[in-house]
Structures are given as structure tokens and as C-alpha cells.
């Protein structure tokens, strides 16, 4: 069974949905710094299109790949607002969605993970709709490479120990205490030289990270369903 695949390149947005019946579960994927809404995830979008309905787990989920221009992002809030707007449309059944979704899963890479963390802190809706969060290569303490691309304003928000990260951590602690969300699952590459440290899994709400032998980009070089990233996704979507 083949799904419908709507790709709006101008909006950096793609939507893969089951065509024979409406699903009520939606997974949103958010790329990182200078990433791409589709290619960041390797062949994953096309694997979903062709093979999701043959999987007992994936068949109940539809998928959105959400993109943004790194040049136009200045804070984590900018990404969080994109996620919030997308979910608002999805849970209301507004176009281009054909029905209402009641359950959300979030998958992020690099800078996108900080946008997701900001979304967890700032959303005004009840978090009972949120059942899964998986973050790949999350720069919890920033990146030593952030000093290089100065012409991107958001690069300052990725420098090691910068003010935005410190504020986000404080915000996370207080928000989680007031309105806790589902556990955040982390995927860490032992060869990841972009983010600082692999022993930093101490943010409130996080589970123990899964560490694999990957670099920052290779952890999402998905070619087929037989890889560590897919294993983590399937576990999260059960």
C-alpha cells in the first residue's frame, strides 16, 4: 500500500499520510542548523511513503517533515512557534490536514532539538496529546563550531554556554515542575564532534541516552529500516 506524499518545497514542508483510512497520530520531524526538511533524514521520508503501512507500528502514524531557513531563525522560539502552528492546524483538522489528530510525536536533530525543548516549555495546550519525543545530537551545552558561521544570527544561540541555552535550561526546569511532559529520549553519537560532551544527560525529563558509533550527521543517514535510528523511532512509536 502506498501513501500520499505532499511535498511543498517552497514552504519546506512535506506530509505523508495514509490514504485508505484516517490516522489520528502524527509525527513531526524538525531538522537542525543548515539542515533540510527532507534530506536531513536520509531516505526516511520515502521509506515511510512506501513501507509504513506494512509495519504494525508505523501504520497508525502519519508524518510531517517541517523545515525552516537557518538564515531567518534567531532564537529557539522561532522554531518552537513553527511546531506550535503546525500542531494547531493538525489537531484542528485545518487544511492541508484532512482530519483531526489527537496524538503527537516529535523528532528533532541538532538545533531542531532545542526548538522542540522550547516548544515543550511554551505550549499553552495540555500536554496530554504529546506521547513521544526523540532528539538526535542535541547540543545541550552548545557547539564549539558555532563561532565559525557568524553570518547566521542563530549561531550565537549555539555557542558553548550561551545565554539562550542557560535560559532554556532554567525554563525547562520550572515548566516541567509545573506541567511535566512525556520523557525525552536522546540519541547520542560517540563520534559527534559538533556538540559538546556525551555525558550531559541531566536535563529534567530526559531518559538515559542511547549512545552509538555515529558522527553528528551519520546518525541520520538512514538508508533502510535496519539501523539504530529506526530502532529508536520504532521503540518510541509503539
How is residue 183 annotated by DSSP?
A: P
Percent of the chain scored above 70 by pLDDT? 96
- The whole-number average pLDDT for the span 40-59 is 96
DSSP reduced 3-state for 218? helix
Q: What is the pLDDT of residue 1?
A: 65
Tens digits of per-residue pLDDT, 162-177? Answer: 999 999 999 999 999 9
Q: Report the alpha-carbon distance of residue 187 to residue 15 in Å, rounded.
A: 24
Asked if 85 and 43 touch (Cβ cutoff 8 Å), the reply is no
Nearest alpha carbon to residue 224 among 25, 67, 47: 47
pLDDT digits (tens, 9 = 90+) for 129-175: 999 999 999 998 888 887 777 779 999 999 988 999 999 999 999 99
Residue 60: count other Cβ atoms within 10 Å of its Cβ. Answer: 16
The reported pLDDT for the residue numbered 130 is 94
Question: Given the DSSP bridges, would you call strands 13-17 and 4-8 parallel, antiparallel or unpaired?
Answer: antiparallel
Q: Is the peptide bond before 96 cis (omega within 30 degrees of 0)?
A: yes
Look at the block and give the residue holding cell 541555552.
165
Under 8 Å between Cβ of 92 and 48: no
Go through the domains of the chain in sequence order and give each one's CATH number: 4-237 (3.40.50.1820)
Amino acid at each position: 500500500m502506498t501513501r500520499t506524499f505532499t511535498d511543498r518545497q517552497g514552504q519546506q514542508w512535506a506530509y505523508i499520510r495514509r490514504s485508505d483510512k484516517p490516522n489520528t497520530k502524527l509525527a513531526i520531524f524538525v531538522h537542525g542548523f543548515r539542515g533540510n526538511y527532507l534530506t536531513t533524514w536520509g531516505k526516511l521520508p520515502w521509506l515511510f511513503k512506501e513501507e509504513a503501512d506494512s509495519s504494525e507500528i508505523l501504520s497508525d502514524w502519519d508524518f510531517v517533515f517541517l523545515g525552516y531557513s537557518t538564515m531567518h531563525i534567531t532564537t529557539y522560539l522561532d522554531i518552537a512557534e513553527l511546531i506550535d502552528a503546525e500542531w494547531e492546524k493538525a489537531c484542528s483538522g485545518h487544511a492541508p490536514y484532512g482530519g483531526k489528530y489527537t496524538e503527537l510525536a516529535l523528532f528533532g536533530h541538532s538545533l531542531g532539538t532545542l526548538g522542540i525543548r522550547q516548544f515543550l516549555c511554551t505550549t499553552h495546550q495540555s500536554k496530554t496529546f504529546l506521547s513521544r519525543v526523540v532528539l538526535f545530537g542535541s547540543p545541550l551545552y552548545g557547539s564549539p563550531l558555532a563561532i565559525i558561521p557568524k553570518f547566521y544570527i542563530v549561531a550565537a544561540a549555539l555557542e558553548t554556554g550561551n545565554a539562550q541555552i542557560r535560559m532554556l535550561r532554567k525554563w525547562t526546569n520550572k515548566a516541567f515542575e509545573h506541567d511535566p511532559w512525556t520523557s525525552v529520549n536522546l540519541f547520542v553519537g560517540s563520534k559527534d564532534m559538533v556538540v559538546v560532551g556525551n555525558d550531559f544527560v541531566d536535563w529534567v525529563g530526559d531518559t538515559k541516552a542511547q549512545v552509538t558509533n555515529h558522527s553528528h550527521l551519520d546518525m541520520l543517514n538512514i538508508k533502510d529500516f535496519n539501523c539504530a535510528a529506526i530502532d529508536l523511532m520504532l521503540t518510541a512509536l509503539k
